[in-house]
Chain A
Amino acid sequence: MAHASSYQPTSSFGQWLDARLPVGRVMHDQFMTFPTPRNLNYWWTFGGILTFMLAVQIATGVVLAMHYVPTPEGAFDSVETIMRDVNWGWLLRYSHAVGGSMFFLAAYIHTFRGLYYGSYKAPREVLWILGVLILLLMIATAFMGYSLVWGQMSFWAVTVITNLFSSLDAVIPGLGTKLVQWIWGGFAVGAPTLNRLFSLHYLFPFLIAGVVVLHIWALHVPGNNNPTGIDVKGPRDTVPFHPYYTIKDGFALLMFVLLFAVLLFYAPNLLGHSDNYIPANPLQTPPHIVPEWYFLPFYAVLRAIPNKLMGVIALISSIAILFFVPWLDTSKVRSTRYRPIYKWFFWVFVVTAIVLGYLGSQPPEGWYLIFGRIFTAYYFLFFLVVMPVVGLLEKPAKLPGSITESVLGPDEPLPLSVPKARQREQVL
């Protein structure tokens, strides 16, 4: 949010640098005095948590890469050797593996937060699109990272997912096959495939870091949205980022790290699949090929569609559709708090995403398949029908006069009948 700079370098070096490269000023204005709505709740702390997790993945990943061997013969044993013979290697490897899961947990919470409070609506469309881009890059990065272990699940996940491109054969015969062989660097998943997956897995996190910078930049132009979804109307509505939100984000981060540590130290393999401790074997297909938990909803969408090409299109659309949310939602208010009808559809959508995750872990047959189709249908209907139609039909609840009023109550004594929405809000 544009605000007057209050940065005053005291040292002569500080003044000298400020006249040449004002990094100190940018940091001070954007992360110390930045005016932030005073009513942000704990769902707003996941942005900081995500930045922390990206740093954790890059720091542990770079050290892992010093010991990792990207060859079919060496990969599996090198990961095990890291855990046995490298100093603190077990800590690095388990931090990176569990860290991947924690990263996605935070990213999904962060995304649902944005959906609930309408943070994608004007003037934050570009901010939202950059967020979806980060999610896509994360998905690609984690998929490639998982392949590096070169266990049975790694190998067969790569085989299944890269083979999806062969569905393009249905469009132009031969195109899909050619494309898949180009991706593999051969006629099957093998040494060249692993080597390029490693190269790209190293590269992508730095692309993510770049987009994160743009994402934060795009955030700092309009400033934060907030739980009421109404705009900041004056200085009364904001507090400086530091110390108010540095301390609140810090506390939330600690709680998050606590959960991370419980998994890391006491159940590092809980979220993984035991088959990935069997070295990759191209001649033996595992009975069930399942991806990591954070891909399961998308996997369920893929398998809900009987046609391969259509399945792939649905899979891609299930994420790409997020790009269009700013224009699919027709509501005049941002926050779902003040949307009595949409609210229900929203929570059904949350349940849908979780149920699809469960269905993705089950074989696509019988009732699993039928429910997979029903929930996939709702997944898309939510964006394509509910968002535009409910936005037009619904009459939003009365909004508070300002952010400060939503926190402290109106200046005048409350009228006898407090609007329902406000009562609820005071509880939250």
Chain B
Amino acid sequence: MTLRRSALAGLAIAALLVAIGATATLHAADEAPATPPAHNHDEPVIESQSWSFNGPFGTFDRAQLQRGYRVYHDVCSTCHSMRLLSYRNLGETGGPEFPKDAVEALAAQAEMTDGPNDKGEMFKRPGRPSDRFRQPFPNPETARVANNGALPPDLSVMAKAREGGPDYIHALLTGYRDPPAGFKPAPGMHYNKAFPGHQIAMPPLLSDGVVTYTDGTKPTVDNYARDVAAYLMWTAEPKLEERHKLGLRVMVFLIAFAVIMYLAKRAVWARMHGHAAPTA
């Protein structure tokens, strides 16, 4: 009786945990914070996209990250900093994995201010892989002056800092429209159907062909938005692939261990079966 009851309870708990786990995994398909359901007409609709990094086995698409970096470098980096990233990250495993010489070349394109030297003066030099990404503005005040008073936020962890994550970034960059009749954005603001409140200080920057793709991918706004969103997911979660890989091993180990434990538990408790007193 005890045996059967324990077994039933054990199975019930196991089933519960697996159910919770499965739900979590389904949610995890989005990796970043879940896309919220739209409540009413005012609230922006964020469409879920399919991403190579979704799901428990997801990995980044190297070519996509390399294109995404291009878009960031050519367009976004004129306004947005990425203070948590260094050029060396571009060559690390689990990321765009640019070859070593490409990383050095990409770093060298940036002109960095260093110093002071032994005369006490600051000087310019080409960037190195160990440098942090070059910041577009020396301070937030300059950034605001250049952007109509609005501050372009740092993009390092942007994909984790908005509900919907990369889906939201894709929707934002493809969400510029003419304002509907009767909606007049404030001066210097732009209508965007994905942005909360629909008025954003960031101008529409992407148009077909602004960034050159060399790998045959069509240079369309939708592709730019998708690629840069995937790239931002990598900058926010650079260890995502390592995490998924280790996760799989841990899962296999835990499940095997749990089966053995369960059998051992049954064997031990079988001694009690029908017995009034323990035999151990």
A binding-site residues for B, Cβ under 8 Å: 38-39, 41-42, 77, 80-81, 83-84, 90-91, 94, 235-236, 238-240, 243-244, 247-248, 250-252, 254-259, 261-270, 272-275, 277-278, 404, 407-409, 426, 428
Chain B contacts of A235 at CB under 8 A?
277
Chain B contacts of A262 at CB under 8 A?
20-21, 24-25, 251
Main secondary structure of the interface of A (DSSP, over half): helix
User: Are A251 and B262 also in contact (CB < 8 A) when A84-B84, A266-B56, A274-B33 are?
Assistant: yes
Binds A, one of B174-182, B185-193, B207-215, B265-273: B265-273
- Residue from the list A243, A264, A267, A270 in contact with B280, Cβ < 8 A: A243
A247 touches B261 (CB 8 A): yes
Cα separation A377 to B154 with both chains bound (whole Å): 45
User: Are A247 and B268 also in contact (CB < 8 A) when A38-B2, A42-B9, A261-B254 are?
Assistant: yes
B163 touches A270 (CB 8 A): no
Chain B contacts of A263 at CB under 8 A?
24
Please provide the 4 A-B residue pairs with the shortest distance between their CB atoms, ordered closest to farther. A265-B247, A267-B28, A277-B161, A262-B21
A266 touches B25 (CB 8 A): yes
- Residue from the list A42, A265, A270 in contact with B243, Cβ < 8 A: A265
Shortest CB-to-CB span from A350 to chain B, Å, is: 15
Cα separation A256 to B269 with both chains bound (whole Å): 21
- Residue from the list A42, A80, A251 in contact with B84, Cβ < 8 A: A80
Chain A contacts of B163 at CB under 8 A?
274
Closest B-chain residue to A248, C-beta based?
Answer: B265
Between A and B, 23 residue pairs with Cβ closer than 8 Å are: A41-B6, A42-B6, A42-B10, A77-B83, A90-B239, A90-B242, A239-B278, A240-B278, A240-B280, A243-B268, A244-B272, A244-B278, A251-B262, A254-B261, A258-B255, A261-B251, A265-B246, A266-B56, A268-B243, A269-B33, A275-B161, A277-B157, A428-B5
User: Are A77 and B84 also in contact (CB < 8 A) when A248-B6, A258-B21 are?
Assistant: yes
| Chain A-chain B contacts (Cβ-Cβ < 8 Å), number | 148
A247 touches B24 (CB 8 A): no
B17 touches A256 (CB 8 A): yes
Chain B contacts of A81 at CB under 8 A?
84
B2 touches A407 (CB 8 A): yes
B250 touches A265 (CB 8 A): yes
Main secondary structure of the interface of B (DSSP, over half): helix
Chain A contacts of B83 at CB under 8 A?
77
- Residue from the list A91, A248, A258, A404 in contact with B246, Cβ < 8 A: A91
Does B120 lie at the interface of the complex (its beta carbon under 8 Å from any beta carbon of A)?
no
Chain B contacts of A42 at CB under 8 A?
6, 9-10, 13
Closest B-chain residue to A263, C-beta based?
Answer: B24
Chain A contacts of B122 at CB under 8 A?
none
A269 touches B32 (CB 8 A): yes
A266 touches B244 (CB 8 A): yes
B280 touches A244 (CB 8 A): yes
Cα separation A404 to B277 with both chains bound (whole Å): 9
Interface size class on chain B is 35 or more
B268 touches A244 (CB 8 A): yes
Does B138 lie at the interface of the complex (its beta carbon under 8 Å from any beta carbon of A)?
no
Does B152 lie at the interface of the complex (its beta carbon under 8 Å from any beta carbon of A)?
no
Chain B contacts of A258 at CB under 8 A?
17, 21, 251, 254-255, 258
Chain A contacts of B278 at CB under 8 A?
38, 238-240, 244
Cα separation A92 to B6 with both chains bound (whole Å): 34
Chain A contacts of B34 at CB under 8 A?
270
User: Are A255 and B247 also in contact (CB < 8 A) when A77-B84, A240-B280, A269-B33 are?
Assistant: no
Q: Which of B32, B83, B244 lies at the interface centre, i.e. has the most chain A CB atoms within 10 A of its CB?
A: B32
Shortest CB-to-CB span from B46 to chain A, Å, is: 13
Chain A contacts of B6 at CB under 8 A?
41-42, 248
Closest B-chain residue to A40, C-beta based?
Answer: B6
Cα separation A261 to B32 with both chains bound (whole Å): 17
Does B160 lie at the interface of the complex (its beta carbon under 8 Å from any beta carbon of A)?
yes
User: Are A277 and B21 also in contact (CB < 8 A) when A38-B272, A269-B33 are?
Assistant: no
Does B274 lie at the interface of the complex (its beta carbon under 8 Å from any beta carbon of A)?
yes
B161 touches A274 (CB 8 A): yes
Does B276 lie at the interface of the complex (its beta carbon under 8 Å from any beta carbon of A)?
yes
Chain A contacts of B89 at CB under 8 A?
84
Does B38 lie at the interface of the complex (its beta carbon under 8 Å from any beta carbon of A)?
no
Cα separation A254 to B236 with both chains bound (whole Å): 31
Cα separation A135 to B242 with both chains bound (whole Å): 35
